[in-house]
């Protein structure tokens, strides 16, 4: 089996528009959660979100923007960064074995919603002709593939919160088994629209605004946690066959060494300890590792009462007594729950933890839930630590679990 290197990364996120800015802000515990800046925010019950801040006109012409929903804009920007970061040059023949794999939970939600507004509020008889092309979930992957000229696999995964972790994991498998030599893989999400937020409000799992500090509203593993905060953004990676990357003298952030995905077949929203634990065990097996080999876990850590408890129990079920010695953190406390992009964002945190030998914290964790009793790296990041390997957890509505493991190259 071939090994897989991560040689490039790009990010558009609520905590920074480059990997270095992203990780620096995480390490300092700086949150991207703030009051929603949209014109419709006064009509919301929950008026906080983790928005990404960028100007599309800095990256695209007006003509190009006519075909790009916000989700595709962020995906393309992040992939451009990652490709430049990797410094890869491919021949036309090599592009035949190069591909794209992108996760997104809702695709072009903004384009679809604006069409519904035209139809049902404004009684329009016609809508924008390009609506379907902007809203379709495979648009981000297609735009990246066309921009880079890749003619291999062009894959899109829509699996709620596990979308981008599965997209990255399946890209890893393609390279591992010889189906591709280079893949751009990650996730993108742009769901901070009025209709989507109202739908999430109805589920009753969004955190209310913290009265003292809106940026502190997401509190994973805390005694007083009370829900997740929606976020948006895109994170992309360049994955290459390891030996090829070494031969060209590539800078290697980490080796992607383990992946597993399973279904709970338990409940559409409630997580399963057994399902999560089984996925963690399978990923460790794929990486030829044991729990004691893991130096850091980036948790799914949504800050909902049940999810944080179940994830803690799943980690303890697999790791046993070692669970109390491995640092665990939830960076959702700062970048929010980016849904289809969140697995990629959390893998970036894990990759840079290995690359920089530093641990990002769980922000806003002032008082732990006694039932969530692991080392959650509260409030501030840790430097000067040994991080040989890291695990990133993703657990989705619908019961799809995905685990990614990286280790130093």
Distance, in Å, from the CA atom of 49 to the CA atom of 33, rounded to the nearest integer, reads 5
For residue 337, indicate whether it is catalytic. yes
Q: What is the DSSP string of 189-253?
A: E---SHHHHHHHHHHT-BPPPPSS-GGG---TTBTT---B-BB-EEEEEEEEEHHHHHHTT----
- Other beta carbons less than 10 A from residue 96's beta carbon: 14
Placement of tokens 């924008």 in the chain: 128
Overall residue count recorded for the chain in this entry: 409
The closest of 274, 261, 228, 223 to 393, measured between CA atoms, is 261
Radius of gyration for the chain, computed over Cα atoms and rounded to the nearest angstrom? 20
Q: How far apart are CA 22 and CA 13, in angstroms?
A: 7
Q: Can you name the residues that pair with 206 across neighbouring β-strands?
A: 228
Q: Look up residue 378 and give its two tokens.
A: 């509260």
Contact partners, residue 401, CB within 8 Å, separation at least 6: 162, 260, 261, 262, 263, 264, 275, 276, 278, 279, 394, 395
- Choosing from 143, 335, 337, 355, which is the catalytic residue? 337
What gap in Å lies between CA 170 and CA 158, rounded to an integer?
A: 13
CB contact set of 90 (below 8 Å; sequence gap of 6+): 98, 182
Residue 181: CB partners within 8 Å, gap ≥ 6? 94, 97, 98, 175, 240, 241, 244
Annotated catalytic residue, options 143, 218, 300, 355: 300
C-alpha to C-alpha distance for 19 and 251, rounded to whole angstroms: 15
Choosing from 161, 218, 355, 372, the catalytic residue is 161
Is 161 one of the catalytic residues?
A: yes
Residue 256 contacts residue 168 (beta carbons within 8 Å): yes
Beta-carbon-side half-sphere exposure of residue 135 (alpha carbons within 13 Å) = 14
Q: Which residues participate in catalysis according to the annotation?
A: 161, 300, 337
């Amino acid at each position: 089996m071939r090994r897989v290197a991560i040689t490039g990364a790009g990010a558009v996120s609520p905590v920074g528009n480059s990997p270095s800015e992203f990780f620096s802000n995480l390490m300092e515990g700086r949150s991207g959660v703030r009051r929603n800046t949209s014109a419709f925010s006064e009509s919301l019950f929950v008026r906080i979100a983790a928005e990404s801040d960028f100007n599309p006109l800095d990256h695209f012409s007006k003509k190009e923007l006519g075909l790009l929903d916000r989700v595709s804009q962020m995906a393309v920007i992040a992939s451009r960064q990652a490709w430049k970061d990797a410094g890869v040059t491919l021949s036309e023949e090599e592009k035949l074995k190069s591909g794209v794999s992108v996760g997104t939970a809702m695709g072009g939600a903004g384009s679809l919603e604006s069409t519904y507004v035209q139809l049902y509020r404004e009684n329009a008889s016609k809508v924008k002709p390009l609506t379907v092309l902007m809203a379709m979930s495979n648009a981000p992957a297609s735009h990246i593939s066309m921009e880079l000229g890749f003619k291999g696999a062009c894959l899109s995964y829509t699996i709620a919160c596990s979308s981008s972790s599965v997209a990255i994991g399946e890209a890893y498998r393609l390279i591992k088994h010889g189906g591709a030599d280079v893949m751009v893989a990650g996730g993108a999400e742009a769901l901070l629209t009025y209709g989507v937020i109202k739908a999430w409000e109805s589920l009753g799992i969004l955190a209310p605004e913290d009265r003292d500090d809106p940026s502190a509203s997401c509190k994973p593993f805390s005694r007083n946690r009370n829900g997740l905060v929606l976020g948006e953004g895109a994170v992309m990676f360049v994955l290459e066959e390891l030996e090829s990357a070494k031969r060209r003298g590539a800078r290697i952030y980490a080796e992607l060494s383990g992946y597993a995905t399973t279904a709970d077949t338990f409940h559409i929203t409630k997580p399963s300890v057994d399902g999560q634990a089984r996925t963690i065990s399978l990923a460790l097996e794929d990486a030829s590792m044991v729990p004691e080999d893991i130096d850091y876990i980036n948790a799914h850590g949504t800050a909902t009462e049940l999810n944080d408890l179940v994830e803690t129990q799943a980690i303890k079920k697999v790791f046993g007594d070692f669970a109390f010695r491995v640092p665990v953190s939830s960076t959702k406390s700062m970048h929010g729950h980016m849904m289809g992009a969140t697995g990629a964002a959390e893998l970036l945190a894990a990759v840079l933890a290995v690359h920089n030998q530093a641990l990002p914290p769980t922000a806003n964790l002032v008082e732990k839930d006694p039932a969530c009793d692991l080392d959650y790296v509260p409030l501030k990041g840790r430097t000067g630590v040994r991080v040989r390997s890291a695990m990133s957890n993703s657990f989705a509505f619908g019961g799809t679990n995905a685990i990614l493991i990286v280790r130093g190259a």
